[in-house]
Amino acid sequence: MKIQNKIPIGGFHKQSLIDYPGNISAVIFTCGCNFSCNYCHNPQLIDSDLKDQSNQLSEDEILEWISQNSQMLDAVVITGGEPTLHSSLPRFIQKIKQFGIKLKLDTNGTNPNMLEKLIADGLVDYVAMDIKAPLSLLKYRKVVGDKIDDPLLQKVMQSVKILNRKLIDCEFRTTADESLSVNDFIAIAGEISGKYYIQHRTDRNNVSIKTAKIENLKEIKAKMPANLNLFLRG
């Protein structure tokens, strides 16, 4: 995990009505990711070392904007990239929480220790965890590339267990990569509980790419465990 005083920020949306359902939120995009997903929505943020420092946004300026506009916000969403790569994330979230607004974290689940501490310390109000594929190394590598190994997959599994405890409001979500079948979605569902979103891939213009195999949810829902609520997004 990278050690730094400031979290590297590659993007900032001042208002969103969709990233944290039911809430008006600002969205912060951190630089750096330990996966290279086939369908990555933010490929320019994958490598924080290659991200031009001159293009990174000022943490202080963003905090100042949130401070001045907190009355118009319900929440802040931190996404990426993968936010939990950065040791400075808890400190950064503490600064946001002092404005009295909620915090949603998007994560791929590869840092369960940080995830568990953020939940225990009351620093996050909602977690959205991406489940890229059934929890096998072969399946995961088809989606995220060779960056993942067995120890990292074990960390993903640990994060699933943490969120399955239902200590915090959360969701699991899977993007419909071309390598995934209906049976793969059903296998993922067997590992999780609560809310499960299957979402379409998007193109470079953020337009949904419809995938026929998830258009008919009845086939998938029929084999879902009773403790899971399935939704289609996008």
- Domain membership flag for residue 203: no
Q: Name residues of the chain where pLDDT drops below 50.
A: 1-3, 50, 54, 204, 207
- Residue 45: inside a domain: yes
Residue 168, domain extent? 9-174
- What is the C-alpha separation between 156 and 115, in angstroms, rounded? 11
In a domain, 1, yes or no: no
Residue indicated by tokens 């977690």: 127
What local confidence, expressed as pLDDT, does residue 122 receive? 97
- Residue 183, H or E segment: helix 182-189
Tell me if 209 is assigned to some domain.
Answer: no
Q: Is residue 74 part of a domain?
A: yes
- How much is the pLDDT for 201? 73
Q: Is 70 helix (H, G, I), strand (E, B) or coil?
A: helix
pLDDT number for residue 49: 57
Strand partners, 173: 130, 197
Domain of 42, CATH number, reads 3.20.20.70
Q: Which helix (H) or strand (E) holds 170?
A: strand 169-175
Considering its fold, how many domains does the chain have in total? 1
pLDDT of residue 215: 61
What six digits make up the tokens of 73? 């916000």
Structural domain includes residue 104: yes
CB atoms inside a 10 Å sphere around CB 33: 23
pLDDT at 22: 94
Domain-embedded: residue 120: yes
pLDDT at 45: 79
Question: Would 190 be classed as within a structural domain?
Answer: no
pLDDT at residue 40, rounded to an integer: 85
